[in-house]
Structure 1
Amino acid sequence: MNRSKILTDGALLTAIYIVLLLISVFVPLIEIIATFLLPIPFVVFAYRYDWKPSLIMLAASVLLSSLFATIFSIPGTLLMGLGGIMIGSGMHKKLTPYETWARGTFGFIIGLLFIFLISQLVFDVNWINEIDSLIDESMQMSKGLMDQVGLAGEAEEQLKLMQQQVEMLKNLIPVGVALIAIVLAFISQWIGYKVINRLERKKFFFPPFRNLRLPVSLVWIYFFAVILTLFNLDPSSIFYHAINNVLVLAGLLMTIQGFSFMFFYAHQKNKSKAIPTVIVIVTLLLPTFLLYLVRILGIIDIGFRLRDRISKE
């Protein structure tokens, strides 16, 4: 492997990252676009040289970002770097797009955890306390509005219900972290494909959504979590919250699998894509009952290899 080529590419891509970082921090209007482009230099470098040289590039980027931007950019650099390296490394190893997406998601989750730890240990920012403060302020504002419109009698009951719902959402923060990582990984990988296809004359692409197939182990994880919820667990225990997070995340993934099967079935039967698209929209507008049906469809598709049976027919 040509070391001078590695050093040249590493220096160039690190400089590109720093420019994108400065744009995302100091330039209004296009800062959002620049933020989504931040992982791409790491994706390109890791695709060319795998993860070991990429970690050196990440270390250099962390140092330079603290010098040219602000010290607060260090957690963001770790987030974008780890996610981008995992995606680029997956492409370097010729993994499938969905396997690469899973690796990228894992990298972004680790990066988000680094943000929480650095914020707590270095910047003395406790995200849980900050969220609690925001919730308290929102509750006080809601109570004040209800008092002004003459709903003081109902305010106490409504606020108690809102408090319970907010507490439930707060306990699902790990699911929120996972969803943010999934979205970041998808956007970064999609842009990375476009850039590398242009630079390297490759043909990376995501397969059609109808071909999405999640592992069978997901069904077992979901049912194991369902069984554990049947026991009288302490609602304040970490184990209880962990099971709920696993249940929600696994259920969401199997709902996505159910949507994928709808597009697969429409394709197999030569039906218009508009039919499953409308079903997805209606399901999202009326989620209370329909989402459970879609989730069951996803479980059947994964567990009983439903699309294999349809393909044989």
Structure 2
Amino acid sequence: MNQSKKQVDGAMFTALFIIILLTGIFIPFLTPITIFILPLPFVLYTARHGWKPALIMAVAAILLSILLGTIVTLPFAVPAVIGGIMIGEAIHKNISAYETWARGTFGYIIGLLFAFVFIQLVLQVNIVEEFQQVMDESLARSTSIMEQFGNPEQADVVKETMEQLLEGLTNLLPFYLLIASVFQALISQWISYKVMNRIEKRELRFPPFRSLRFPSSTLFIYLFVLLAAFMITDTDSGTLTMAIQNLLVIAQMVLTIQGFSFLFFYTHYKKMSKAFPIIFVVIVFLMPTFMFIIRFIGILDIGMNLRERLGQK
């Protein structure tokens, strides 16, 4: 009976996956929506039956997607399959919401890396070069307008600054990949929670943001990467420099999130209005100079256990 249930669910969720996938491909204005709900069939199936039956469903779904939509569907299908299985398996094991999010993010990173390599090698589309070409054309148009209506010398300075900025943006491509994975996993997991709570009468939800705490090893990683960034200053070191830049940005982002989490914790501890931390977050994003303060608070929270000290008091 259990095996029959797995087969019926597998066929049903595979069909649902194919419908969502083809809808997103052939109806372009629905693509942004389908990207986030595409993992849902795999989340639901894996949460019920575990990852081993989900692998069989994954093979069937990918083969059907190729047959019905050609290999062009693979960059859309594979990240959703891997991310969905990772999130679903975490739910199946009753793992906490934030750890589920981390596993889903890891799954999406693997899937998006596959999509990136597939587009580069199979579809013969160099994403980095395409991005640089678009940016160079935009920079050329902007420089031309400034030369016509402004000072040519000033236009050269602006051009040089913009070229350095664009080079930095290109070097941070792995960071953008991580950010995309984080948001895809978050939204897909949130949608899955809502659907499962409605269909299966469960009570899946994210705990309060104020309870989010990263391990103390995060601080040591940040200090190591920061030291490496000061030591490795040769711009000709290529891949190593790009890796250090991306790791530094990622570590800074994690510590900033930790700082915001402590801010929410502190206002709750002091029984302050819930509007206060939200307003402060908005102010920080409008005035990025305050971001350093939030990051420093995150460092103190991890390194000195500020929450436990407040609890002792």
Matches within 5 A, 1:104-143: 104-143=104-143
Tell me what 2:72 maps to.
Answer: 72
Tell me what 1:253 maps to.
Answer: 254
Larger mean CA deviation between 146-155 and 180-189 belongs to: 146-155
Task: Tell me, in whole angstroms, the C-alpha distance in 2 between the residues paired with 1:259 and 1:94.
Answer: 27
SS of the counterpart of 1:236? helix
Tell me what 1:205 maps to.
Answer: 205
1:265 aligns with 2:277: no
Task: Tell me, in whole angstroms, the C-alpha distance in 2 between the residues paired with 1:130 and 1:240.
Answer: 22
Among the aligned pairs, what percent are the same residue? Answer: 46
Task: Tell me, in whole angstroms, the C-alpha distance in 2 between the residues paired with 1:166 and 1:232.
Answer: 21
Matches within 5 A, 1:1-313: 2-27=2-27, 29-237=29-237, 238-287=239-288, 289-313=289-313
Q: Matched residue pairs, number?
A: 312
CA contact (8 A) 1:47 1:89 kept: yes
CA contact (8 A) 1:268 1:311 kept: no
TM, length-normalised to structure 1: 0.96
Runs (5+) with no aligned partner, structure 1:
none
CA contact (8 A) 1:219 1:302 kept: yes
Task: Tell me, in whole angstroms, the C-alpha distance in 1 between the residues paired with 2:220 and 2:111.
Answer: 28
Please tell me the root mean square deviation across aligned C-alpha atoms, in Å.
1.4
Task: Tell me, in whole angstroms, the C-alpha distance in 2 between the residues paired with 1:134 and 1:28.
Answer: 22
Task: Tell me, in whole angstroms, the C-alpha distance in 2 between the residues paired with 1:70 and 1:286.
Answer: 47
TM, length-normalised to structure 2: 0.96
SS of the counterpart of 1:95? coil
**1:237-283 deviation digits (Å, cap 9, x = unpaired):** 22222111111101111101101111111111110011111111111
SS of the counterpart of 2:231? coil
**1:139-194 deviation digits (Å, cap 9, x = unpaired):** 21112221232333321111000000111111111111101100000001111111
Task: Tell me, in whole angstroms, the C-alpha distance in 2 between the residues paired with 1:211 and 1:177.
Answer: 26
Task: Tell me, in whole angstroms, the C-alpha distance in 2 between the residues paired with 1:33 and 1:242.
Answer: 32
CA contact (8 A) 1:255 1:291 kept: yes
Q: CA deviation at 1:29?
A: 4.4
Larger mean CA deviation between 126-135 and 298-307 belongs to: 126-135
Q: Which amino acid aligns with 1:94?
A: N
Runs (5+) with no aligned partner, structure 2:
none
Task: Tell me, in whole angstroms, the C-alpha distance in 1 between the residues paired with 2:30 and 2:112.
Answer: 23
Task: Tell me, in whole angstroms, the C-alpha distance in 2 between the residues paired with 1:152 and 1:64.
Answer: 58
SS of the counterpart of 1:72? helix
Q: CA deviation at 1:309?
A: 1.4
Q: Which amino acid aligns with 2:181?
A: A
Task: Tell me, in whole angstroms, the C-alpha distance in 1 between the residues paired with 2:20 and 2:298.
Answer: 40
Task: Tell me, in whole angstroms, the C-alpha distance in 2 between the residues paired with 1:204 and 1:211.
Answer: 16
Q: Which amino acid aligns with 1:199?
A: I
Task: Tell me, in whole angstroms, the C-alpha distance in 2 between the residues paired with 1:51 and 1:240.
Answer: 38
Task: Tell me, in whole angstroms, the C-alpha distance in 1 between the residues paired with 2:265 and 2:156.
Answer: 49
Q: CA deviation at 1:236?
A: 2.8
Q: CA deviation at 1:40?
A: 0.5
SS of the counterpart of 2:223? helix
**1:10-49 deviation digits (Å, cap 9, x = unpaired):** 1100111111112212235444322221010011111112
Task: Tell me, in whole angstroms, the C-alpha distance in 1 between the residues paired with 2:41 and 2:151.
Answer: 55
Q: CA deviation at 1:223?
A: 0.4
**1:30-72 deviation digits (Å, cap 9, x = unpaired):** 4432222101001111111222221221111111112223421
CA contact (8 A) 1:36 1:188 kept: yes
CA contact (8 A) 1:235 1:241 kept: no
Task: Tell me, in whole angstroms, the C-alpha distance in 2 between the residues paired with 1:246 and 1:180.
Answer: 16
